[in-house]
A and B are shown apart, each in its own frame.
Chain A
Amino acid sequence: MTAAKQSPKKAAGPKKAAAPKRAAAPKRAAAPKRAAAPKKTPGAKKAAAPTKAAGTQAAEAEAAVRPVPASRSAFAAGAARATGERRRRSGTPLITSATPLEVSAARRDATAALPEDASLPVAGDATAEKDRSAGTPTRKRPPRRAIRDRREQRARERALRPVPSLPAPDEKVALLAEPAQRHTDSAPEPATGPAGLAEGLQHTAERIVGAVLEAAEFSSEARPGPAELVELAVNLLRAAATAAGVPAEEVERQVAETLAYVRRRLTGDYTVDEFGFDEDYTTHVHLPILRPLYKSWFRVEVKGIDNIPDTGGALVVANHSGTVAMDSLMTQVAVYDEHPRHRHLRMLGADLVFQTPFVGPIARRSGSTLAANTDAERLLAGGHLVGVWPEGFKGVGKPFSDRYKLQRFGRGGFVAAALRAGVPIVPCSIVGAEEIYPMIGNMPTLARLLGLPYVPITPTFPWLGPLGAIPLPSKWLIEFGPPIDTTAFGPEAADDPMLVFDLTDQVRETIQQTLYSLLMQRRSVFI
């Protein structure tokens, strides 16, 4: 197909390209070319016949191309690729005979003639297009005999090749560099005739696949240096980035950052604090993973971020909902991204979180710790911003019919912790989390079996299997209310249960009222 398509484009300078090629690789291609030539011409003639009626110019151009073996050489290259010849050739980089190098030199010549050629088909008229499409099926496969001949020829050639002795290390490096060079040389070769977007894409794909194939065979026969692999990876990435419409520099920066991160992970060159918080991981992995959800899926809107102090401890108290505790993660992103000081929200989680494999260490790394008074007070005393969801599982696992109805706020332990540490309490109301997994039923027996507080039934789970784990894209609003000062009461007030209950109720009422007003402001659940 490609050979047939390329033939008219080569009309201007095929001889130039073909001549050195023939001279350079006579042994390889001479026999098959001769064999292929008579067979191909009738096919091309057949293809050209209908076009003659449409436009004689194009037919003439075609006729001029046909006898020239350039089309056959491109064709042979395609066939060779298909039979793995090129792979085998480039897989033996240690040969001292100059054959592959000469081939590449010829190709360089061929590609040097490219620019003038490339303009031709774009300007070409409709008939040429038609001709091309008509010509495609006839020249799809090379003749069997040609392939067989070539194979025999190659086998003879290989038998004659000298077997190189083990090279010295520095020699090896030089030899390793060679295939890469050859690869970059031969890379533009398929681009001999990029006509239109589809073909361009095809060539790019070919190039990428070729690069991958060559990389694969290097690793099996002669190990490539890391530099070559990196170069290959960078090229692939650049191509992918341009395809996705993202600036390549941006992607490169991102990749460099990621690599630096991986290096730090490899050497253990990062620190965790006493709660297991790993800032490097949180800013480079945890938050970037959540950000698409935050920005594009839930489109979180944050109000009153100024109510979170710039420095010092504070206790953020929020409502809990949504079957899966996604609201705490989104609040974490909201605080880090929206707050001018990019503070990390240190969350207090249930025992269950830290018992669960994979979830437990991730929670610790991203700044969570056990919801216990000792930990809360230690964090607050250390001047951290602490987030707590006092409703716990009662809030997350409440049925959809109870949405936006606050449950009991624990035993007020969070208020006692704030009083002891003398930090303000920031009430936080989250709207939107209730609708992500509307819990319309529960499977208590299964939950008991699995040791979970509940196993939800939602409109999508478990009916759709893993698809049911996709949250509904509700619109979220998070509002941080004005901080409630606790310093006025003094630390001994923590031992006054009446005051603690009063404060708990005050926080709870504030959040409930804010929830109602936010619900009034929200235009729709999903918009």
Chain B
Amino acid sequence: MARIVLVTGVSRYLGGLYARRLSADPGIERILGVDVIPPRHSIGRAEFVRADIRNPMIGRIMNQAEVDTVVHMNVIATPKDTGGRVTQKEINVIGTMQLLAACQKAPSVQRLVVKSSAAIYGSSPRDPAMFAEDMNAKSTPRSGFGKDSIEVEGYVRGFSRRRPDVEITMLRLANVIGPQIRTAVTDYFTLPLIPVPLGYDARLQFLHEDDAIAALVTATTGPSVGIVNVAGDGFLTLLQCLAMVRRPVLPVPLATAGLIGNIVKRSGLADFSPDQVAFLAFGRGLDTTRMRHVLEFEPRYSTRAAFEAFAAGVHSVVADVEGVGEAVTGAVTGAAGGGAAALARVFERLSQ
């Protein structure tokens, strides 16, 4: 089926991992890895082609190599990796446009696999508990990576109308986490003092980096599946995650989160775009029924196991402080519960 595969974003961590994993598949004749900078890690037997997807040159590469499968992994979630939000948007939106334009002109292309993101669902208190693939965001992300993802998906939809013969698979990945990968979320959880939205506790889903790659490989070599959510089983709340990384927390009222976010962003420690803040306040759930039954993919790591794999590599900054926020919440709620039970007993005694 897939013989000659072109992978974009191969110099990035997930791209390189994907190229290595795909190299192990004997059914693949040739793998072309495209990126603007040469990879610093092994990309297996993939051939590195230095090209910018924002340049029409990419079309000539496709035609020359007679690429039949294009895997687009160059939608970037972390602005600080690329040198700012403007470049990020440029690469994500214009890069996708150019790539799809090239694909449209390349008759050899039979399949397009796009690494999309669950960020397109946004995060709001009015969200349903779980998003299925056919649901729309209640409040569409208006900035940052979420907006980019929506635009990327829009272009892919346009492409599918113009080239109905090309099979399209879009994987909406939950936040990818693991011992190696660096994303906005891992940056957040490794802050020395973690700001959390006061009075909210988001439900989070994670996907282990190995599972993310395995899902992408399945989507490349397996049957075409359309749009599929990919996430690990189960949920963690933000407070649970903080307890697991054992870092001190700083509760911040949501109204001032923008300000704090800006400070943290300026300091270069982590990225706090407004959609990221909304995600940390309200969370998001993905319905993975299609992943199981249509993509026929079963993640090896649950959300908890994926996060534990990440948390094992995070060292506690302060030896004595272990999840202060959770300690306080736990102590307060625990004491309240115990107190209430005792009160109930006293009431019972009095009423007897």
Contact = CB atoms under 8 A, between A and B. Distances in A.
Given A268-B326, A351-B125, A273 B235 contact: yes
Contacts of B327: 262, 265-266
B199 A357 contact: yes
Interface string A500-515: 0000000000000000
A38 interface: no
A251 interface: yes
A357 B243 contact: no
Contacts of A52: none
Interface string A271-313: 1111110100100110011011001100000000000000000
Contacts of B254: 357
A254 interface: yes
Contacts of A261: 330, 334, 337
A492 interface: no
Contacts of A281: 333
Nearest to A271: B234
A344 interface: no
Contacts of B13: none
Interface in B250-276: 253-254
A267 B135 CA distance: 35
A527 to B, nearest CB: 14
Contact of B243 (A267, A364, A375): A267
Interface stretch (B78-86, B108-116, B338-346): B338-346
Contacts of A289: 336-337, 340
B335 interface: yes
B130 interface: yes
Interface residues of B, number: 54
Contact of B323 (A251, A264, A266, A378): A266
Nearest to A373: B128
A268 B241 contact: yes
A351 to B, nearest CB: 5
Interface stretch (A195-203, A242-250, A321-329): A242-250
B125 A360 contact: yes
A274 B285 contact: yes
B35 to A, nearest CB: 37
Contacts of B334: 258-259, 261-262, 265, 284-285
A88 B83 CA distance: 62
A262 B335 CA distance: 9
Contact of B343 (A250, A265, A292): A292
A372 B126 CA distance: 9
Contacts of A255: 338
Contacts of B304: 271
A265 B345 CA distance: 25
Given A246-B345, A274-B130, A370-B127, A254 B322 contact: no
B199 A361 contact: yes
A291 B345 CA distance: 10
Contacts of B333: 265, 281, 285
B204 to A, nearest CB: 10
Interface string B130-156: 101001000000000000000000000
Binding site of A, secondary structure by majority: helix, strand, loop or mixed? helix
Contact of B344 (A278, A296, A358, A360): A296
Nearest to B343: A292
Contacts of B198: 357
A354 B333 CA distance: 19
A524 interface: no
A521 interface: no
A266 B351 contact: no
Contacts of A264: 330
A369 interface: yes
A139 interface: no
A255 B331 CA distance: 12
A265 B349 contact: no
B241 to A, nearest CB: 7
Contacts of B200: 357, 360-361
A112 B331 CA distance: 41
A254 B342 contact: yes
B329 interface: yes
A257 B335 CA distance: 11
Nearest to A361: B201
16 contacts: A250-B345, A261-B330, A261-B337, A266-B323, A271-B234, A274-B235, A276-B129, A276-B201, A285-B334, A288-B337, A289-B336, A292-B340, A292-B343, A364-B201, A370-B126, A370-B129
Interface of B: 125-130, 132, 135, 197-201, 203, 234-237, 239-244, 253-254, 282-283, 285, 304, 322-323, 326-327, 329-331, 333-338, 340-349, 351
In order of increasing CB-CB distance, the 8 nearest A-B pairs are: A357-B199, A265-B330, A268-B243, A285-B337, A268-B240, A258-B338, A361-B201, A354-B125
